[in-house]
Amino acid sequence: MKAKIDQFIEALEHRTGIPGAVEHFLNEEIPASSGWHQVFGSVAMFLIMIQFFTGIMLAFNYAPTPGQAYDSLRYILTEVTAGRLMRGLHHWGASMIIVIVVLHMVQVFLWGAYKKPREGTWIVGVVLLLVTLAYGLTGYLLAWDNRAYWGTVVATQIGATVPLAGPYVSRLLASTGDIGVVTFARFYGLHVLLLPPATMLLIGLHLVLVRRHGVAPTVGDELKPKKQFYPEQVFKDTVAIFIAFAILFTLAISVRVPLERMADPTDTTYIPRPEWYFLFLFQMLKVFEGPLEVVGTVILPTVAILALILTPFVDRSKLVRVRQRTLAMGVVVLAAIGWGGLTLAAIRSTPPQTAAASIDFSGPVQWMQLKPAELSGIHYYKQENCGACHNVTQGGEAKAGPTLLNTGRRHDAAWLVQHFKAPQTLNPGSAMTPVNLNAAQLNDLAAAMLAMTTDNGDLISTTPAFAADGAALYQKTFCGSCHMVNGVGGKLGPVLNGLATRRTEAWTIDHFVNPQKVSPGTPMPAYKFSGQEMQDMVAYLFTLPDKAPAQ
């Protein structure tokens, strides 16, 4: 058997040279001082491979046009096997790559490994860092939700402030007006068609330079016997890669990547926030305001990039041990304080997210299609703790009462209301106690029971509390006698579907408190809601779909 394996390897070597290349790679000599501090390059390479793989997996079901992109992403997250995992790996992998690449560059900078003859290796690394950030910028828009849209608006506006080149940057990104189909297509093209081959080319060049000049030894290590890359350093790189992937996989399965409402260019009240690694640049807009804005968003970042590129040519001093490189350590500490401080300031200045904006559209949102009475009934279902005795889906822990799924196939609303009032009359011997609600509330509870089918998922667990509470208040105050929601209600007042696209939350609150002030002559009375009631009501109204669902 061994002879056949050797014969196969010999034939493969003769025809491809792969076995010899692998052997040469593994037997490469590295300095005796090489160790754990040099694992970041291998981890970064692995994470880039993960990004390529998960990007390809997502592309199989992704439609690269606005609107369809959003729907296809929801399809990936809710229907495709392992779709949520792939997106989680891709999303968190993008952040981890930036962290690892920065750590790798910090390690190279502190050890002085950029000095002659490794200037080219360092410059290629700087360009790879910029390409990594470009992935984050161009990929941000592809979800086509409100967060992505308005974050990209800020980014393109910053690009437009570049002296002299601003108009050309805007024209290149097709962002001279609103962000639309052309902008989306160019961001997608950059993210999928241009950056990947550029990345592979730069990585190949980086590896060639590393192999040509070797791993930089520490001072005094030049005369020590060298060691082979395999097995010691291979083992350390493998352990580091395993730890990185364990962290990435844990984030992907335990921290849900939110998907907000589909991008709405008319929602001028939305407060944009970029990804965390661009928050420092976003905060610069507040530090340098007005005419000085270009200093913080363009000039200082450009100076920082030029400083990184020119570092090997400015620092031509003799290489010393890392503990003696106090200036380099000071530069790293100051850069960390500056980046971290601006990022923290941006996070702290972020206003609290409204309940309506916090909805995660990557999960079931069938509750948004419910009529007010049905949604109100979910409020009373939770209030009366019906879940203690009933399941609403098949399976799960056995409970005293029957499963309520598809109740409408067995009973009508009149039977359910009577059952709520006097369980013993319809089911002699039932352990259920009468439900202590008034007639209108019982009707809402029955409506919720009839709405539960196998097609709309687990409405009880997926409906946000604010939506059910707001709908209950909507019903209690008889708003439906004048307004229509999801196809039901009166026609005296305007239809409330799509209210979020026409009004702000502040205006809506003022309208409840003093209708005559904001709408003179309106027959609507003033409402004295408590703070929580007002918050629930407005949040519910602002989650209504733009159009009523088909009846």
DSSP 262-323: BP-TT-TT------GGGHHHHHHHHHS-GGGHHIIIIIHHHHHHHHHHHHHHH--SPP--GG
Q: What integer pLDDT is reported at residue 426 of this predicted model?
A: 84
Q: What integer pLDDT is reported at residue 466 of this predicted model?
A: 94
Residue for token pair 């360092």:
122
Q: Which two tokens stand for residue 162?
A: 């570049």
More confident of the two residues 32 and 245: 245
Q: Looking at the predicted structure, is the pLDDT value of residue 378 above 80?
A: yes
Average pLDDT (217-221) is 78
Q: What are the distances in angstroms from CA 134 to CA 123, 139, 192, 335, 353?
A: 17, 8, 11, 20, 27
Identify each DSSP E strand in 418-518 by its residue range: 484-485, 488-489
Q: What integer pLDDT is reported at residue 176 of this predicted model?
A: 67
Q: Dihedral angle at the C-alpha atoms of 462, 463, 465, 469, nearest 10 degrees? A: -160
Q: What integer pLDDT is reported at residue 550 of this predicted model?
A: 67
Q: What integer pLDDT is reported at residue 32 of this predicted model?
A: 79
Contacts of 538 (CB under 8 A, 6+ apart): 356, 470, 505, 508, 509, 512
Comparing C-alpha atoms, which of 436, 411, 406 is closest to residue 421? 436
Q: What integer pLDDT is reported at residue 157 of this predicted model?
A: 80
Comparing C-alpha atoms, which of 388, 373, 493 is closest to residue 442? 373
Comparing C-alpha atoms, which of 89, 108, 94, 133 is closest to residue 41? 108
Residue for token pair 């799509």:
498
What confidence tier does 281 reach under pLDDT thresholds 50, 70, 90? confident
Comparing C-alpha atoms, which of 55, 51, 70 is closest to residue 144? 70
CA distance 470 to 102: 47
Q: Which domains does the chain have, with CATH numbers?
A: 1-29 (no CATH), 38-217+231-260 (1.20.810.10), 373-453 (1.10.760.10)
Q: What integer pLDDT is reported at residue 177 of this predicted model?
A: 63
What confidence tier does 488 reach under pLDDT thresholds 50, 70, 90? very high
Q: What integer pLDDT is reported at residue 270 of this predicted model?
A: 79
Q: Is 454 exposed, middle or buried (0-12, 13-18, 19+ CB in 10 A)?
A: exposed
What confidence tier does 154 reach under pLDDT thresholds 50, 70, 90? confident
CA distance 469 to 129: 48
Which range is least confidently modeled, 68-77, 108-117, 164-173, 502-511? 164-173
**The whole model's pTM is what?**
0.86
CA distance 414 to 230: 77
User: Residue-wise over 267-278: b if at least 16 C-beta within 10 A, else e?
Assistant: eeebebbbbebb
Q: Looking at the predicted structure, is the pLDDT value of residue 220 above 90?
A: no
Comparing C-alpha atoms, which of 309, 304, 308, 317 is closest to residue 116? 317
More confident of the two residues 341 and 395: 341
More confident of the two residues 307 and 172: 307
CA distance 141 to 159: 15
Q: Looking at the predicted structure, is the pLDDT value of residue 407 above 80?
A: yes
Q: What integer pLDDT is reported at residue 165 of this predicted model?
A: 77
Residue 262's DSSP bridge partners are 145
CA distance 416 to 5: 74
Q: Looking at the predicted structure, is the pLDDT value of residue 132 above 80?
A: yes
User: Residue-wise over 61-79: b if at least 16 C-beta within 10 A, else e?
Assistant: ebebebeebbebbbebbbe
Q: Looking at the predicted structure, is the pLDDT value of residue 222 above 80?
A: no
Q: What integer pLDDT is reported at residue 235 of this predicted model?
A: 94
Measured on CA atoms in the order 490, 494, 500, 505, is the torsion positive or negative? Answer: negative
Helices and strands (H, E) in the chain, number of each type: 24, 4
pLDDT above 90 as % of the chain:
57
More confident of the two residues 170 and 62: 62
Q: Which two tokens stand for residue 390?
A: 């009933």
Q: Provide the residue type at 129 as one letter.
A: L
Comparing C-alpha atoms, which of 506, 493, 514 is closest to residue 535? 506
